[in-house]
Structure 1
Amino acid sequence: MTPLLLIVQAAFLFAYDVDRGKEEAFEAGYAAHLGWHAEHKDPLPWYGWYVTSGPRTGLFIDGTFGIPFAAMDQRVDPAGDGADMAAKVLPFAKARTYSALAYWSEVSTVRTLEDRKPTAVLDAFTVTVAPKNVSAFETALSREPKGQATWYRTVSGGQIGSYLALVPRQTWADLASRPALLDKAAAFAESVEVESWSYRPKLSRIP
């Protein structure tokens, strides 16, 4: 059997706009939906966050990390999963985005989600690089990775040349000591946007 770390690991992210005034119903329905996953012995971890800073503040994000891409083809009862989600969650929220990402091990310096050890907050950097500059960007970053971050390449559901860097922290005070990110590679990035994701243990399931 191929060791897990030799398989290209994936992350799948979903985002939802929660209907105004329906937050409690959404959370109750989502928690019940996680119960469906538990009853069906879903082996995948599911993490839930609210975006708490940036233009997308209020968005709910969930995702699974540290799995092979094939795991999404082999997931437990996809039709039943979708029907349960539609019944319990989607009456109170609208699906917004769905993306697949590949874990970039060469430049990642932490792997909290892959190790199933989420922190209270993640600062999420979305980095967009012009396709002609992708090679130079990746070379610059690989020579000297900066800060404590987990890096992903977007492979579906986003722009070509789009990357996600997740920086774990526990408190706002941690921002004062966080090293600068992308110092060496900033020249190749068309844009860098950052927002904060606050972890919700009651809206997460780690088998």
Structure 2
Amino acid sequence: MQLNRFPWRPLLAGSLVLMPAGAALASPPAGPYARMVVIQPKPGQDSAFEAGYEKHLEWHRQAGDSWTWHGWSFVLGERLGYFMDGTFGHAPGNFDNAVQPAADRADNQKHVEPHADFLSHGVFQRLDGASVGAPLPDTSPYLALITYQVLPGQGGAFEQAWTRQRSRLAGSGARYSLYRLQLGGSAPQYMLMRAVPSFGAAADLPEIEPALAGMVHSKRSELLAYRANLSYQP
């Protein structure tokens, strides 16, 4: 998954130790950080993109990648037909120890890039104090995703509103994760994730948003379908 995601990061001679194919890495330390990437298949190449992406996931398997990668297709919203992948639950130092970055990049160039364009790559932090329940995402059939572009200077107030909302929703059965963009896009930006069991249930999600008047510049609501064949579990 490495290609074009940290294009500024140099590979120092002698700094990369390659692992034998199939050798498993130790489990990475847990933490609140995630990397999320949005990919757009080229016109008419959806099937070719998926086939190439499956081959790339097999590369991760053969390389013994210890990170889990979830994959989704956008099924509602402005980015209909796009694809998002992400790896979650990391300590920040994990991102300095991705599996074989140069080989990962080369495999991406071979199998994925001919059929798709990488549109965005961001590092996000889950705000545990503003989230409810076990961390999301997971392998639920659908993921309801709301992206907030917050007005400059309003990030603190936005987070405090969700923190207050968390205490009100304790014990209600609500479950959601709020992520803050750390690097890789226009900030302040936040992503709210909610697991959804079915397409119909997505249309009837209960309202959980606190009062955000005067804080938000724009809000984008989308629905994503989980793609088990385009996901990787070590």
Give TM-score, length-normalised by structure 1: 0.90
Deviation at 1:92, TM superposition (A): 0.7
Report how far residue 112 of structure 1 moved: 4.9
- Aligned-residue offset at 1:178: 2.1
Identity rate, percent: 31
* Number of the residue aligned with 1:45: 68
106, 119, 142: which is aligned to 2:163? 142
Q: Are the aligned partners of 1:141 and 1:185 in contact in 2 as well (CA < 8 Å)?
A: no
Task: Note if 1:159 corresponds to 2:186.
Answer: yes
The unaligned stretches of length 5 or more in structure 2 are 1-28
Aligned to 1:132: 153
Q: Deviation of residue 16 (structure 1)? A: 1.2
Question: 2-side partners of 1:175 and 1:48: how far apart?
Answer: 18
CA RMSD of aligned residues (A): 1.9
- In structure 1, what is the Cα distance between the partners aligned to 2:204 and 2:79? 25
Aligned to 2:12: none
The reply to whether residue 78 of structure 1 matches residue 101 of structure 2 is: yes
Q: Which of 113, 121, 124 lines up with 2:142 in the alignment?
A: 121
**Given the alignment, which residue of 198, 206, 209 partners 1:182?**
209
Cα deviation, residue 113, structure 1: 4.1
Asked if structure 2 preserves the Cα contact closer than 8 Å seen for 1:47 and 1:205, the reply is yes
AA at the equivalent of 2:49: F
Give structure 1 stretches of 5+ with no counterpart. Answer: none
Q: C-alpha offsets along residues 76-95 of structure 1, whole Å, 9 cap, x if unaligned?
A: 11000000011011111111
Q: Which residue is 1:22 aligned to? A: 45
Q: Could you report, residue by residue, the CA deviation over 1:87-124 in whole angstroms, capped at 9, with x for unpaired residues?
A: 0111111111111101111111133546xx42111111
Please, which of 186, 209, 223 is the counterpart of residue 196 of structure 1?
Answer: 223
Query: How far 1:187 moved relative to its partner?
Result: 4.3
Any conservation in 2 of the 1:46–1:204 contact (CA below 8 Å)?
Answer: yes
Contact 1:112/1:118, CA 8 A, preserved across alignment:
no
2:41/2:116 contact within 8 Å kept: yes
Larger radius of gyration: 2
Provide the C-alpha distance between the structure 2 equivalents of 1:176 and 1:18, rounded to a whole number of angstroms. Answer: 27
Q: CA deviation at 1:186?
A: 4.4
Deviation track 1:7-53 (CA, whole Å, cap 9, x = no partner) reads 4x211011111012222211111111101101111000011111111
CA contact (8 A) 1:151 1:165 kept: yes
Question: 2-side partners of 1:76 and 1:39: how far apart?
Answer: 11
C-alpha contact 2:142 2:223 (8 A) present in aligned 1: yes
Q: Which moved more, 1:123-132 or 1:29-38?
A: 123-132
- Following the alignment from structure 1 to structure 2, what is the Cα–Cα distance between the partners of residues 62 and 190? 26
DSSP-derived class of the 1:179 partner? coil
The TM-score with structure 2 as length reference comes to: 0.80
Q: How many residues align?
A: 201
Maintained 8 Å contact 2:140/2:226: yes
